[in-house]
């Protein structure tokens, strides 16, 4: 059993992975994000009760680039006090357990590959759509994170007048329509024509993001997660329509696109970091 932690820009979730499921799960909003010690104390407080169980280690996913070997995180998204944090050392000294740190979307991809919709594929990409857009990459059964743990940041690629993330994440609705993805989703469910048109436009942009993944990594499958994925029925058709422009139509026919089905998949992936690292291999299984 391993402890998994999913640290987001607004909340923290912790739990223990046991036989492919998360037990003893707790979550809360992250407080006092301008104060490094306060946020670290909150993380430690959440982990502490779980160390009473027979766990082998701690895995944590964070929305940032990571020095995976040293466990140092840099410039964590939406946590201004976390510019450079030696998270591995801090938590290992606190709990006397091995600690492993990685990007949060990488953890999502690992979780899907090992426990979720990506189990049948050796080459897959997990795309997480929330306030931003990130990707985790599995190539030949191994996590590919890049030299600085920054591989998969397709949302930051320049696109139109901004970047892909501007148009293909929850940010699109606040930036272009002065609403939220959640409100647009609720309105679309109620048949609001304006909201449905907004999701159609979003789908075209997200289709462009998927094409970037296809041209770059040519995966067998893409698994889509994140809060905005709940609206998939409202943007899927527009997304798939963009594939008619893809230069390799046979690749489009072979590509499988799945939605995540497990709300705990990022926690499961974070917990799996322990086994990955203890075995001194980048293989997910």
280 lies in some domain:
no
Q: List the CATH number of the domain containing 27.
A: 3.30.420.40
284 lies in some domain:
no
Same domain, yes or no: 128 and 241: yes
Report the distance separating Cα 94 and Cα 155, nearest Å: 35
Report the distance separating Cα 159 and Cα 165, nearest Å: 9
Same domain, yes or no: 165 and 240: yes
**pLDDT (0 to 100) of residue 158:** 96
265 lies in some domain:
no
279 lies in some domain:
no
Could you tell me the two tokens for 53? 């169980």
DSSP annotation of 226 reads S
Report the distance separating Cα 127 and Cα 109, nearest Å: 8
pTM over 0.75: yes
45 lies in some domain:
yes
**pLDDT (0 to 100) of residue 25:** 94
**pLDDT (0 to 100) of residue 84:** 95
- What does the pLDDT look like over 55-74, one tens digit per residue? 999 999 999 999 999 999 99
Same domain, yes or no: 16 and 142: no
Domain that holds residue 80: 2-104
**Residue from 144, 76, 70 nearest 109 by CA:** 144
**pLDDT (0 to 100) of residue 8:** 83
Same domain, yes or no: 237 and 208: yes
Same domain, yes or no: 97 and 131: no
**Residue from 115, 96, 86, 105 nearest 9 by CA:** 105
Q: How many domains does the chain have?
A: 2
Low-confidence residues in the chain, pLDDT < 50: 280-285
Same domain, yes or no: 127 and 223: yes
SS3 99: strand
52 lies in some domain:
yes
* Contact (CB, 8 A) for 74 and 83: yes
* Contact (CB, 8 A) for 212 and 206: no
Same domain, yes or no: 52 and 171: no
């Amino acid at each position: 059993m391993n402890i998994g932690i999913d640290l987001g820009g607004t909340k923290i979730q912790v739990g223990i992975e046991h036989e492919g499921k998360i037990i003893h799960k707790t979550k809360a909003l992250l407080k006092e994000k301008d104060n490094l010690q306060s946020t670290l104390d909150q993380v430690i407080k959440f982990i502490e009760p779980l160390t009473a169980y027979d766990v082998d280690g701690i895995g944590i996913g964070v929305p940032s680039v990571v020095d995976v070997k040293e466990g140092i995180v840099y410039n964590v998204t939406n946590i201004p006090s976390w510019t450079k944090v030696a998270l591995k050392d801090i938590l290992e000294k606190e709990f006397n357990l091995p600690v492993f740190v990685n990007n949060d979307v990488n953890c999502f991809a690992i979780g899907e590959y090992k426990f979720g919709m990506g189990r049948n594929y050796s080459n897959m990409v997990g795309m997480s759509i929330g306030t931003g857009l990130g990707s985790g990459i599995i190539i030949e059964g191994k996590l590919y994170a890049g030299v600085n743990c920054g591989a998969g940041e397709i949302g930051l690629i320049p696109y139109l007048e901004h970047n892909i993330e501007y148009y293909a994440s929850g940010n699109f609705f606040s930036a272009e329509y002065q609403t939220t993805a959640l409100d647009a989703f609720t309105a679309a469910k109620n048949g609001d024509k304006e909201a449905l048109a907004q999701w159609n436009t979003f789908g075209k942009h997200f289709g462009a993001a998927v094409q970037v993944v296809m041209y770059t990594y040519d995966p067998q499958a893409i698994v889509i997660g994140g809060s905005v994925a709940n609206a998939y029925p409202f943007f899927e058709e527009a997304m798939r329509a963009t594939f008619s422009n893809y230069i390799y139509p046979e690749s489009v026919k072979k590509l499988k696109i799945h939605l995540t089905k497990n709300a705990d998949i990022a926690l499961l992936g974070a917990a799996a970091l322990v086994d990955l690292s203890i075995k001194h291999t980048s293989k997910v299984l």
